[in-house]
């Protein structure tokens, strides 16, 4: 073998070593890039989670609430009533402001149509009272019940006259001998179109 061939054989391995070195360096760079990418992803995900939490705080979830329109009362105020009372020994009168509480808003239009009859019924109830009956709290409570019954009657509700009379006797201090009649009256009153009667003003002179 000539000297030139031996020199060529010795010079051949170095290129192979350089190629291996390049592959190793490239592999290290790839691993470094993969690691850096993984770290970036891990950092980005918590940031996104925090952003979601901030967004949730800024826009809290709406809570669905059930709303029953029948549970919302409607109030219909009436013009103030001024009426002479039933006192015989002296002239006494009452000035009373009344507001009707109804279960359904659509009933307000019906009340407007029947307003003359409703005012007549309330005036008749007031005119039948004496000053002594209206001064104390029990008298006012009974007046509210009577107005509720009479205005409901005008609107077409069926009112038991015997039951209404017994309620009046109970308010005067006499007890109804029939057991359970009080519960029956409460149940009947709950079904009346006029749910309750409220006094906005009450003057007796």
Same domain, yes or no, for 141 and 183? Answer: yes
Same domain, yes or no, for 54 and 112? Answer: no
The answer as to whether 63 is a domain residue is no
Q: What is the pLDDT of residues 131-178, one digit of tens each?
A: 999 999 999 999 999 999 999 999 988 887 655 554 444 444 444 444
Contacts 24+ apart (CB under 8 A), 123-130: 123/81, 123/83, 124/150, 125/150, 126/81, 126/83, 126/85, 126/94, 126/96, 127/83, 127/84, 127/85, 127/86, 128/86, 129/85, 129/86, 129/94, 130/85, 130/86, 130/87, 130/92
Q: What is the pLDDT of residues 85-102, one digit of tens each?
A: 999 999 999 999 999 999
Same domain, yes or no, for 121 and 39? Answer: no
The answer as to whether 65 is a domain residue is no
Same domain, yes or no, for 20 and 77? Answer: no
Same domain, yes or no, for 99 and 175? Answer: yes
> For all residues of the chain together, what is the average pLDDT?
74
CA distance 77 to 41: 68
DSSP annotation of 2? -
Which range of residues forms the domain containing residue 83?
A: 72-204
Give mean pLDDT, residues 75-88.
95
Same domain, yes or no, for 118 and 52? Answer: no
Which CATH number do you get for residue 180?
Answer: 3.30.479.30
CA distance 197 to 205: 22
Domains: count for the chain: 2
Inter-residue contact 190 to 153 (CB < 8 Å): no
Domain boundary among 58, 80, 98: 58
Same domain, yes or no, for 49 and 119? Answer: no
Inter-residue contact 77 to 200 (CB < 8 Å): yes
Of the pLDDT bands very low, low, confident and very high (cuts 50, 70, 90), residue 187 is very low
């Amino acid at each position: 073998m000539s000297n030139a061939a031996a020199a060529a054989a010795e010079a051949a391995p170095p290129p192979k070593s350089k190629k291996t070195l390049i592959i190793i360096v490239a592999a290290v760079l790839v691993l470094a890039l993969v690691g850096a990418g993984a770290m970036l992803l891990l950092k980005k995900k918590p940031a996104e989670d925090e952003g979601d939490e901030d967004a949730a705080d800024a826009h809290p979830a709406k809570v669905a609430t059930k709303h029953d329109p029948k549970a919302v009362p409607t109030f219909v105020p009436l013009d103030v009533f001024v009426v002479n009372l039933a006192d015989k020994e002296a002239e006494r009168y009452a000035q009373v402001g009344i507001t009707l509480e109804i279960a359904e808003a659509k009933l307000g239009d019906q009340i407007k149509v029947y307003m003359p009859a409703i005012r007549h019924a309330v005036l008749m109830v007031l005119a039948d009272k004496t000053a002594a009956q209206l001064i104390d709290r029990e008298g006012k409570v009974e007046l509210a019940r009577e107005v509720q019954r009479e205005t409901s009657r005008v609107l077409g509700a069926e009112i038991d006259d015997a039951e209404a009379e017994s309620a009046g006797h109970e308010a005067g201090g006499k007890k109804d001998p029939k057991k359970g009649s009080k519960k029956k009256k409460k149940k009947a009153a709950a079904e009346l179109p006029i749910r309750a009667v409220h006094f906005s003003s009450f003057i007796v002179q």
